[in-house]
Amino acid sequence: MFKPDKVQQQIVSGIREFVERKVIPVASLLEHEDEYPREIIEEMKEFGLFGCNVPEEYGGLGLSYTTFAMIVEELSRGWMSIVGPIGTHSVICDIINRFGTDEQKREFLPGLANGERRGGLALSEADAGTDVQRISTIATRKGDDYVINGSKMWITNGRYGNTFVLAAKTDAKADPPYKGISAFIIEKGGAGFKVGRDIDKLGYRGVETCELFFDNFPVPAKNLIGRSEGEGFKQIMTGLESERINVAARGIGLAQAAFEDAIHYSQLRYTFDKPICEHQTIQNMLAEMGTKIEAARLLVYSAADKKDRGERCDLEVGMAKLFATETAQEVALQALRIHGGAGYSKDHRVERYYRDAPLLVIGGGTNELQRLIIARGLIAKHRVK
């Protein structure tokens, strides 16, 4: 049984109090208006949450992946959208910290840690999501710069962020294609960088998701991560391990919120002269929901702990992401069903959980991809000698 230490308990307690006081009371209103939660984000900045995984020497909190997962869970329990600005931000912090040069770390990590720099990952394209090798954005070396041409899609923090890690082809003829991918730190502003429309989404509202366009956009060669071409695929895939942990943790938080609303409502709603929680059908649903949430939580913490130890964990992270997000979608639906007709209205939060949950199944690498990663990992682990 996982038991958080005293420091983790104090951190989680502070985040939970913040969520109860500042997030839950306004989440539904902001979500329905699709309004960016500026005040909430500013308070998260004051908490230091933009520097969760930035080392203390660069002004961050230097927290473990396990502690970060616990923070994400609590924030998502209040409103999943508020994790977006720090979730994708944490991925680029991880990439720069692991693979950046000392100069790149000194230049970018302090600003990312204090929230002055808001980060995003410019990876997905209209024709390249799960299959990263299909990206068509090109970076061409010209003197002391690389010139970027192409576009990116589904960029969280695209409008309000200012610092991004961008994946582009520096060798379009590389075979296999992933060997031609490089990663760059880019900054918003200047000719050739355009933020397109905000994508109107089913859920995950209140946080912007944008298209980015690059037309001969110059990036200093010194911003090539690690100063080596062709290393971008490895760098970004390693960063996506941390993203999958935080996406899985979002699933736990959303599922926990849906479960809490459902079990509360089931004790207040009466049918046939007794609360519906006393009907066996509802009890079976609650039992399944509670059990799967606890199992998902343990999977996520186990995967995060393995990453904290510096061990390869793509198998465990894939399992955690798959199970936690599928659980979130299932629990959200069951919570809506327990609420009956009331759950289908916007008077209750469960309709929001039901709309938010599918993103988790798709985002951070689709669950269809996770199943392939898991299967390959299991075959390798149990290979016949």
Q: Tell me, what CATH number does 19's domain have?
A: 1.10.540.10
Same domain, 257 and 324: yes
CA 103 to the chain's CA centroid: 27
Q: What is the CATH number of the domain that holds 165?
A: 2.40.110.10
141: how many CB neighbours lie within 10 A of its CB?
A: 12
Torsion, Cα 220 224 225 231, to 10 degrees, reads 170
Task: Provide CB contacts within 8 A for 324, sequence distance 6+.
Answer: 248, 249, 251, 252, 255, 296, 297, 299, 300, 360
**Locus of tokens 């616990």:** 70
* CA distance linking residue 318 with residue 263, whole number of Å: 29
User: Is residue 146 domain-shared with residue 28, that is, in the same domain?
Assistant: no
Q: Looking at the predicted structure, is the pLDDT value of residue 130 above 80? A: no
Q: What amino acid occupies position 10?
A: Q
In this structure, the answer to whether residues 238 and 377 fall within a common structural domain is yes
How confident is the model over 317-342, as pLDDT tens digits? 999 999 999 999 999 999 999 999 99
- For residues 131 and 231, the model is more confident at 231
Q: Is residue 94 part of a domain?
A: yes
Does 367 lie in the same domain as 260? yes
Any domain includes 1? no
Q: Ramachandran region of residue 332, left (φ > 0), alpha (ψ -120 to 50) or beta? A: alpha
pLDDT at 385: 83
What is the pTM assigned to this prediction? 0.94
pLDDT of residue 248: 98
- Distance between CA 305 and CA 66 in Å, rounded? 6
| C-alpha dist (Å) from residue 379 to 165, 315, 374 | 33, 11, 9
Q: Rounded to an integer, what distance in angstroms lies between the CA atom of residue 359 and that of residue 352?
A: 12
The residue count of the chain comes to 385
SS3 174: coil
The answer to whether 214 touches 155, Cβ cutoff 8 Å, is no
From CA 255, how far away is CA 261, in angstroms rounded?
A: 10
Specify whether 23 is located in the same domain as 91. yes
- Residue-wise pLDDT tens digits, 188-200: 988 999 999 999 9
Same domain for 339 and 315? Answer: yes
Under 8 Å between Cβ of 367 and 361: yes
In this prediction, residues 62-81 reach a mean pLDDT of 97
Give the tens place of pLDDT for each residue, 139-171: 999 999 999 999 999 999 999 999 999 999 999
Average pLDDT over residues 345-349: 94
* 383 DSSP assignment: -
Mark which of 229, 253, 284 sits at the end of a domain: 229
Last residue of one domain, picked from the residues 114, 137, 164: 114
Same domain, 214 and 171: yes
- CATH code assigned at 290: 1.20.140.10
What's the half-sphere exposure (Cβ side, CA atoms, 13 Å) at 69? 31
pLDDT band at residue 365, thresholds of 50, 70 and 90?
confident
Mean pLDDT of 204-226: 96
Give me the catalytic one of 208, 211, 243, 316: 243
Looking at the fold, whether 371 and 253 belong to one and the same domain comes out as yes
Q: Are residues 125 and 107 in the same domain?
A: no
The β-bridge partners of 121 are 165
Percent of the chain scoring above 90 in pLDDT: 92
Q: pLDDT category, 1, cuts 50, 70, 90?
A: low
| Overall domain count for the chain | 3
Is the domain of 212 the same as that of 197? Answer: yes
Average pLDDT, the chain: 95
**194 in a domain, yes or no?**
yes
Does one domain contain both 171 and 239?
no
Is 231 catalytic? The answer is: no
Q: Find how far residue 50's CA is from the centre of its chain.
A: 13
Task: Report pLDDT digits (tens) over 82-112.
Answer: 999 999 999 999 999 999 999 999 999 999 9
- Residue 37's domain comprises 6-114
One domain for residues 218 and 338: no
Question: What distances in angstroms separate CA 203 from CA 31, 108, 382, one per listed residue?
Answer: 9, 32, 40
- pLDDT at position 120 is 94
Q: With contact defined as beta carbons under 8 Å apart, do 263 and 286 qualify?
A: yes
